[in-house]
Amino acid sequence: MLRQARLGTLRLASATGLSRRLRDSSWRQQRLLIVCYHGVSRYDEHEWDGTVYITAERLRARMQLLRQERCNVLPLAEAVSRLRNGSLPPRAVTITFDDGYHDFYSVAFPIIESFGFPVTLYLTTYYVEYNRPVFDLMCSYLLWKGRRQQSLHWPEVFAHSCALDTAGRKEATAAIKEFAFSGKLSGLEKDQLLARLAGQLDIDYEALCHKRLLHLIKPEEAKALAARGVDLELHTHRHRVYQSREATFAELDENRRRLETYTKDPPQHFCYANGISSPEYVEYLTAYGMRSATTCFPGLCTAHTHPLLLPRLVDTMAIADVEFSSWLAGTAALLPRRQESDQSEFVG
């Protein structure tokens, strides 16, 4: 009900011209919208998880809206600098992608490039070098792909059969991840576990790997993207967040070392892995010398926003066109939202 009321309010604001006036106001000019994406579907990924993947058609339509609304799409570094010194142009927007899936290279960037828009890629680097499917995501995808089997009997991992409905798949994914974690499986061993899971579900795992499904880009693709103007920034090496300063710095150092082999521009900006942030982590990033860090909490950035807690609009298949347009105008930021929970999960 709350969402329907919110959408109704945004439609009314658009129909009456309120959103258009706000879009062109000095109030909006003092604010920056950072848009976040993760993946762009090449096959059926958006049907599996529309919170992570959108369609190529949806991404192209969003870029067209940016042009139609006369947004000034800025590179991240320039946007952060101009936000601080009060020189943002009207309708300022920055486009970011997280993680670095192969579909960014093959689908998303060609679309963005065709509009002439700059884009930042927060790149986590472990699966760039070990270029096999991302374990956690492929677990979930395989279980969804094999859901017609209705249940999974796998005594090596499960004490009992798991149903393959929505709740059962979530339980099965957690059990497989715990099996890998408690067994301290290596990257190779986890990939072999995925192959066995696919076999249990009668899925051709190597065919999925041949399609580069849920793979990250390769080092040579990262270099090619940087050469074409993509801004490569920090997102941790293993997509993990640690409690201690020493482990955090070591993780960032590993990420930085890899990125510096892909791009001539030193990375200075960061995106929280899994959206996890805390006061301690902000302190670590400050000490590390990070210029900015982005979250996954929705909002517009102002000159008073902490540079290491910048909000972003995470665009998904669930966000309607009027909602996206209202974020570009700033109208959506004025409506009340559910209180975001404090995220404090860490790897040890």
- Report the alpha-carbon distance of residue 76 to residue 88 in Å, rounded: 12
Place of tokens 């990125």: 259
Report how far Cα 333 is from the mean position of its chain's Cα atoms.
20
Dihedral sign, CA of 128, 131, 135, 138?
A: positive
- What pLDDT does 277 receive? 82
| CB-count burial class (<10 Å; 0-12, 13-18, 19+) for 80 | buried
- Name the strand (E) or helix (H) holding 114: helix 109-114
Name the β-bridge partners of 313. 35
- Name which of 206, 186, 188 is nearest 142 in CA terms: 206
Per-residue pLDDT of 288-304, as tens digits, reads 999 999 999 999 999 99
> What are the two backbone dihedrals, phi and then psi, of residue 161, each rounded to the nearest 5 degrees?
-65, 145
Query: Is residue 344 very low, low, confident or very high in pLDDT (cuts 50, 70, 90)?
Result: very low
Contact 332, 226 (CB under 8 A): no
- What pLDDT does 342 receive? 40
- Name which of 318, 319, 300 is nearest 310 in CA terms: 300
- Report the alpha-carbon distance of residue 67 to residue 118 in Å, rounded: 13
- What pLDDT does 338 receive? 65
Query: Can you give the pTM of this predicted structure?
Result: 0.94
* Structure tokens that stand for 28 in this block: 């909006």
- Report the alpha-carbon distance of residue 71 to residue 62 in Å, rounded: 12
Per-residue pLDDT of 257-299, as tens digits, reads 999 999 999 999 999 998 778 889 999 999 999 999 999 999 9
Q: Above 70 in pLDDT, residue 233?
A: yes
For residues 136-165, average pLDDT: 93
For residues 112-130, average pLDDT: 97
For residues 221-248, average pLDDT: 95
